[in-house]
Amino acid sequence: MNGLKTMMLLAALTALLMALGYTLGGPTGAIVALVVACGMNIFSWWNSDKIVLKMHDAREVGPETDLYQMVKQLADRAALPMPRVYVIDQPHPNAFATGRNPENAAVAATTGLLSMLSRDEVEGVMAHELAHVKNRDTLVMTVVATIAGAISMLANFGMFFRDGEGRSNPLASILAVIVAPLAAMIVQMAISRTREFGADKVGAEMSGKPMALASALAKISRGAEAIPNPVARSKPAVAQLYIVPAGISQMFSTHPATELRIEALQDLAEGMGQPAVQPAARRSSALDPLG
């Protein structure tokens, strides 16, 4: 059912792109838009991990690091192939997963996150990211971001569209400026918000420490708002990849409110027979990405 919903949402984005192309260029415009959408899907499918990791100047770390060993234990526990592990030299606290399938996945965390969180909290975050890999969310989020970006680009072009006689097309302008970007945003949010709750649940079950993840979400949310993220600032479409996006109003956020995610984790902890109280942070147990 999850796969069917994904296909329907991706089809809706592609249809939206074609409709905008038809409005701007008639049948030819619709065909061109379809070709562009297919090309972007294929390109994103094959290169999603490389694109995102290069964008963040991420560096791969190996078995000699604590982070790698932690991810390996979680991957083994979840019966997942070992993903590549990356660290991003950035004070902004965040993490993400990427890759077209579990066999070609990668997880990354910033140095800001690793220094801010306790060891249990880092484990909760990495389990969340591995849950995205297990649920095959990573490819979908990247492809959706690519197509939504194409719609926004085409919408901006529509503002300057003129017919053969040099006149503007009012319908094209309305669709381009208002309807298409809004619809693309709604579809993108529908995918991401649902999947974040799912990744929180699967990740918490994977680590066995739902309240450690809850505590991590609270810390990351505060830190992400206070410390700028240069990549997200220049490329807003990547915000949906992070465990907690920053600098976006909740109305337009691709993620549920952090408070709601914490409440869901508290309920999960109670169901697992654990106290629904966020554990106190222990600075001494913070993870050293180089250790």
- Would you name the residues annotated as active-site residues? 129
Task: Please answer whether residues 68 and 288 qualify as being in contact, where contact means their C-beta atoms are separated by less than 8 angstroms.
Answer: no
For strands 84-88 and 95-98, give the pairing.
Answer: unpaired
Annotate 187-203 with b (16+ C-beta within 10 A) or e (fewer): bbbebbbebbebbbbbb
At 57, give phi and psi (nearest 5°): 55, 45
Q: Which of 221, 244, 285 is nearest to 129 (CA)?
A: 244
**DSSP bridge pairs for 168:** 162
In whole angstroms, give the CA distance from residue 260 to residue 210. Answer: 14
Task: Please answer whether residues 225 and 92 qualify as being in contact, where contact means their C-beta atoms are separated by less than 8 angstroms.
Answer: no
In whole angstroms, give the CA distance from residue 134 to residue 203. Answer: 10
Burial level of 225, CB count in 10 A (0-12/13-18/19+)?
exposed
